[in-house]
Amino acid sequence: HENLKFPKLCKCYSANESYWDWWDQGTREFIQWVRQSDKATGRPFTARYVGSLVSDFHRNLLYGGVFLYPKDSKDPKLPFGKLRLLYECAPLSFIAEQAGGKVSLY
DSSP type of residue 13: E
Cis peptide before 79 (omega within 30 of 0): no
User: In angstroms, rounded to a whole number, what is the distance separating the alpha carbons of residues 33 and 62?
Assistant: 22
pLDDT at 75: 87
Tell me the backbone φ, ψ of residue 46, rounded to 5 degrees: -90, 135
Q: Phi and psi for 65 in degrees, rounded to 5?
A: 180, 175
Is 2 a residue whose pLDDT tops 80? no
Q: What would the pLDDT profile of 74-90 be if each residue is shown by its tens digit?
A: 988 877 777 788 888 89
CA distance 76 to 98: 34
The model's pLDDT over 22-70, given as tens digits with 9 standing for 90+, comes to: 999 999 999 999 999 999 888 999 999 998 889 999 999 999 999 998 8
Look at residue 61 in the predicted model and tell me its pLDDT.
93
